Structure 1
Amino acid sequence: MIIHILAGGPEKNIPSLRPYDQKDVSWVGVDHGVYRLVNQGIIPIAAFGDFDSVTKKEWEDIRGHVLEINQFKPEKDETDMELAFNWAVAQNPSTIRLFGATGGRLDHFMANVQLLLRKESLHPSLKIEIIDTNNIIHIASYGEYTVEKLNDKKFISFIPLTADVENLTLKGFKYPLTNRNIPLGSTLCISNELIQSQGTFSFTNGILMVIRSQD
């Protein structure tokens, strides 16, 4: 099962959803993201939020199309995205992709990144990505990974999220590494590029944020 979640981030940061709207995908809307889905003819299987960012007409459209609406008071312990994310994880999907989760308020963006750092998010059977028009972000715990070259997002960065990422090795990259320890706060692995159709990265301890980007 693949679940795509659309939140209410700035429209300019949201890529075209049609390439991601495949028959094996279930959509979930968050707050104004629910209306955006409905407006594009994509009916989410569930909606979450306090819906304080939608107009009366948009709310009527949402209620007329979406069967499962989970409405909450603005005063709550979780963000709207967190509520939708928790629901998605409970469905035991193979993949969760978050759209509309970047741009605008930095506190919302950082909160969304924090969701990827949860223990359940790091389970090897679950792939989670944050996608916008210029970036694809995912979190990797220690292990070995293969990455494919993306012509539209040629830059790839590795950002340590723990005190030490140990023995990072990059193969097939313009700037290779062999068993290098990367401390928290290092910018050593920013803006690398693949020079082959695919490459590998591996490390023996720690957590990395992996960002595929375009200018």
Structure 2
Amino acid sequence: MNINIVAGGPEHLIPDLSRYREKDAFWIGVDRGAVTLLDRGIIPDEAFGDFDSITPEQKQAIEEAAPRLHIYQAEKDKTDLDLALSWAVKQEPAFIRMFGISGGRADHFLGNLQLLHQAAESRINAVMIDRQNTISLFPPGSYTVTRDQTKPYISFLPFTETVKNLSLEGFKYSLNKCHIALGSTLCISNELIRSQGAFSFTEGILIMIRSTD
């Protein structure tokens, strides 16, 4: 099962969701994101939120369409997306995609980026997707990456204080067991020179961002 989570970020940054409507896809709407799903002809399997950013009519439409709702008070210790992602991780899906969580308020975006760590800790593949970028977090290990002409630029940033022994193969700018400290821009805006490349590291958490201009 793949879980697709749609939150309430700027709708113009949310890509065409129809390409992610696989047979086993499971959809979660988070607050206004549930409205976005309904507007795009997708009925959320679960909906999470305090729903304080939508109209009573929109809330009623969600209540009538979604099989299961998780409604919370506006004053709480976790964001709606945090609650939805925690639930999704417990389902142990093959993959989690998150939309509508970039753009808009910077504090929301940075908080959402840190939520990816939940999935990384559980060894679940998770990615943030908007029209221009995909963002993923990786624990230590070896990984392959395939060329995507729509997002040719690949950047790596440390999520932790240090990422150790980072190696890049098949990239325009290769690395061999290099330590990357928090704040480094060494691995910004790289590109694959073959149809497939590889990266590996032994310690830390690594952010990978794939982008287009």
Same fold (TM over 0.5): yes
**Cα deviation code 1:37-63 (max 9, x no counterpart):** 112221111100010111122112111
Structure 1: gaps of 5 or more residues? none
Deviation at 1:10, TM superposition (A): 0.2
Deviation at 1:67, TM superposition (A): 1.8
Deviation at 1:111, TM superposition (A): 1.2
Deviation at 1:187, TM superposition (A): 0.2
Distance 2:189 2:15 in 1: 22
Matched residue type, 1:155:
Y
Count of matched residue pairs: 213
Deviation at 1:90, TM superposition (A): 1.3
Matched residue type, 1:122:
E
- Aligned: 1:14 with 2:9: no
| Aligned positions of 1:30-109 closer than 5 A | 30-109=30-109
Distance 1:35 1:12 in 2: 14
TM-score, scaled to structure 2: 0.97
Deviation at 1:123, TM superposition (A): 3.1
Asked if the contact 1:142–1:203 (Cα under 8 Å) also holds between the matched residues in 2, the reply is: yes
Deviation at 1:121, TM superposition (A): 3.0
2:197 corresponds to: 199
TM-score, scaled to structure 1: 0.96
Distance 2:141 2:120 in 1: 15
Calculate the aligned-residue CA RMSD, in Å: 1.0
Distance 2:22 2:170 in 1: 31
- Aligned: 1:175 with 2:169: no
Q: Which aligned segments of 4 or more residues in structure 1 are displaced greater than 2 angstroms?
A: 120-124
Matched residue type, 1:167:
N
Deviation at 1:176, TM superposition (A): 0.7
Matched residue type, 1:35:
V
Distance 1:184 1:75 in 2: 33
Asked if the contact 1:115–1:121 (Cα under 8 Å) also holds between the matched residues in 2, the reply is: no
1:116 corresponds to: 116
Distance 1:164 1:46 in 2: 37
- Aligned: 1:143 with 2:141: yes
Deviation at 1:95, TM superposition (A): 0.7
Deviation at 1:101, TM superposition (A): 0.6
Asked if the contact 1:46–1:69 (Cα under 8 Å) also holds between the matched residues in 2, the reply is: yes
Distance 1:146 1:4 in 2: 23
**Cα deviation code 1:141-163 (max 9, x no counterpart):** 11111000000000000001122
Matched residue type, 1:21:
R
Deviation at 1:122, TM superposition (A): 2.7
Deviation at 1:12, TM superposition (A): 1.4
Deviation at 1:89, TM superposition (A): 1.0
Distance 1:33 1:163 in 2: 33
Distance 2:130 2:182 in 1: 25
Deviation at 1:130, TM superposition (A): 0.5
Q: What SS does the aligned partner of 1:195 have?
A: coil
Q: What SS does the aligned partner of 1:206 have?
A: coil
Asked if the contact 1:143–1:202 (Cα under 8 Å) also holds between the matched residues in 2, the reply is: yes
Structure 2: gaps of 5 or more residues? none
Distance 1:72 1:185 in 2: 37
